[in-house]
Amino acid sequence: MNTTEHWQHIYQTRSTQAVSWYAPQLTDSLRWVTRLCAQPSARIVDVGAGAGTLVDDLLARGYTQLTAMDLSAAALQHSQQRLGQASANVQWLVADATQAPLAAQAYDLWHDRAVFHFLTQADQQQAYVVACAHALRPGGHAVLATFGPQGAQRCSGLPVQRYNAAQLAHAMGPRFALIGSELTMHHTPSGAEQQFLYAAFERLAD
């Protein structure tokens, strides 16, 4: 089973409210995104959007240029069904973040909650960074949430890479400047706690 098949299987066979990464509202993500992109006209891509509710909350706040991207078509279908007619106000893209066909400088903000930490190989990480740098305008921002130093070592049966802020900044490379970070605690539906690192970066000019 390849990576796409793995995530398709997860979203086709499990309740979206039972998976470990589920939260009824992505409060930390929403806070970071709206802080960095206060204008509702901001162009925002939610990478690994899954069935998460960030797009719901951004639509409710008047944001008009939203893209939800995920490997799993089933995951995005859950969100489209939840949103109903409002889903027409979001661009839905089934794609791998490391290979996504995104236009150059297409976005003001790139949001990723729990994709990057699944990229455990250097070539995967480099491809992701190249894609992110390509899609963001200079002066735009990337918000990444990964497992923190004390976070889980595996998720959904897959190995992950844990980060502190300095390690994540190193992985993002010289095209990005770290402008803020924080450690947060995610409470899973089963009651477990998982440490996450949220880090915000500015896309520097080439």
DSSP string, the chain: --HHHHHHHHHHHS-TTTSTT--SS-HHHHHHHHHH--STT-EEEEET-TT-SHHHHHHHTT--EEEEEES-HHHHHHHHHHHGGGGGGEEEEE--TTT--PPTT-EEEEEEESSGGG--SHHHHHHHHHHHHHHEEEEEEEEEEEE-TTS-SEETTEE-----HHHHHHHH-TTEEEEEEEEEEEE-TTS-EEEEEEEEEEEPP-
Quick check: 20 pLDDT over 90?
A: no
Mean pLDDT for the chain overall: 95
Q: Which residue has the higher pLDDT, 37 or 14?
A: 37
pLDDT in tens, 28-65: 999 999 999 999 999 999 999 999 999 999 999 999 99
pLDDT in tens, 125-148: 999 999 999 999 999 999 999 999
Quick check: 90 pLDDT over 80?
A: yes
What pTM did the predictor assign? 0.95
Q: Which domains does the chain have, with CATH numbers?
A: 3-8+25-203 (3.40.50.150)
Q: Give the pLDDT confidence score for residue 18 in this predicted structure.
A: 77
Mean pLDDT of 149-163: 95
